[in-house]
Amino acid sequence: MLVDKLISKIKNYENILLMVHVEPDGDTLAATVAFYIALKSLGKKVSMVCIDEIPKPFLFLPQIKNIQKDILFGDFEVIIVIDCGDLRRTGFPERLKKFAKVFKNFINIDHHPKNDLWKIANINIVDQGASSASEIVWEILKKLPVELNCDIATAILTGIYTDTGGFKHSNTSPKTLEIAAELLAHGARLKTITKNVSLNKSVAALKLWGVALSRLHKNQYLQIVSSVITRQDLDDCGATYYELAGVVNLMNSIPDSKAAILFFETPEGNIRASLRTEKDSVDIGKIAKLFGGGGHKKAAGFTIEAELKLNDTQWEILLK
């Protein structure tokens, strides 16, 4: 079994690096800190790395402050990437390719559809039926001789909670809910999670949501709902780009729409798109892939070089 292979790597090696994906979400962060706590308790030398800033709502997670922005890969014997979706999203594609070739201890833990990481990783522990990478990590931790304490349980429940949209999305399986019950039994702090993740909107964030909602547009032919946020909007509201998380899910709750897309200008001046659908017949991940991105069937994203023209509530996105 692949999980047994991973467990023997963990037993045989001391220096382990856990990697969080770029533009980190609750799942990648939570699964990583849970794994970190477990490996530390086994006496391993463990580090965590994420090239991007940690969004405020997740700063409550235990050990999150120990995530580093960059790290020397040469210090590690085993590298585990969690929830990355593709090689580029690890933030360190070239260094990882080299590591996998030379050390043969590169492990991919994920729940995304097939992608270029599968070829490069030496062990792929992938379950596309899992609600989240956190769900997979919980199953792995149960097989390790570690105490599954309330910090681990809180982290894992955070990952499941965020990737299922608070148990609202169709990736919530009977197993997901069974695991959620186990986590609560292990002391997971659900109230802390809901307070930080969904009930924690600043005035600036809500103003920004207001701007996005005021620009809502429904394409009658495609039945797609879309909106846009510029860098100027962030400045005007005093909000950060991370405070947009969740807007596209709200847009996706509009009845009779096939999909929702939120476009926003990134700090680098590119255009990023967040896509969601509720329809089983629509594969939004495939659409994102057409534009060089990817993701799941019902939640995906991409970044393109494009120019945004905004005029009152009308806008255009012109590919460069």
Binding-site member from 85, 91, 113, 165 for ligand 5GP (CB under 6 A): 85
Binding-site member from 89, 169, 215, 298 for ligand 5GP (CB under 6 A): 89
Q: Are 266 and 272 in contact (CB under 8 A)?
A: yes
CA distance linking residue 56 with residue 64, whole number of Å: 11
Nearest to 138 by CA among 90, 178, 108: 178
Q: Residues 116-145: x/- map of binding to Mn ion (CB under 5 A)?
A: ----------------xx------------
Binding-site member from 295, 297, 298, 308 for ligand 5GP (CB under 6 A): 295
- Our finding on whether 302 is near ligand 5GP (CB under 6 A) is yes
Q: Are 251 and 225 in contact (CB under 8 A)?
A: yes
Smallest gap, in angstroms, from Cβ of residue 16 to Mn ion? Answer: 21
Residue 115 vs 154, nearer CB to ligand 5GP: 115
- 69 half-sphere exposure, CB direction, 13 A CA radius: 3
Smallest gap, in angstroms, from Cβ of residue 110 to ligand 5GP? Answer: 9
- Our finding on whether 163 is near Mn ion (CB under 5 A) is yes
The helix or strand, by DSSP H or E, that contains position 125, with its residue range, turns out to be strand 123-126
- Our finding on whether 169 is near ligand 5GP (CB under 6 A) is no
Piece of the chain touching Mn ion by CB under 5 A; list 80-88, 140-148, 208-216, 284-292: 80-88
C-alpha to C-alpha distances, 54 to 26, 66, 68, 179, nearest whole angstrom: 10, 11, 10, 26
Sheet-wide strand order for 224-229? 217-219, 224-229, 259-265, 271-276, 299-304, 294-295
- How many residues bind ligand 5GP, per CB under 6 A? 15
Smallest gap, in angstroms, from Cβ of residue 69 to ligand 5GP? Answer: 20
Smallest gap, in angstroms, from Cβ of residue 42 to Mn ion? Answer: 25
Q: Considering only residues 103-132, where is the footprint of ligand 5GP by CB under 6 A?
A: 112
Q: Are 177 and 157 in contact (CB under 8 A)?
A: no
Q: Please list the alpha-helical segments (H only) found in 186-269.
A: 190-197, 203-214, 231-237, 247-251
CA distance linking residue 153 with residue 222, whole number of Å: 42
Residues at the contact surface with Mn ion, assessed by CB under 5 A: 27, 83, 132-133, 163
Residues at the contact surface with ligand 5GP, assessed by CB under 6 A: 25, 85-86, 89, 112, 274, 293-296, 299-303
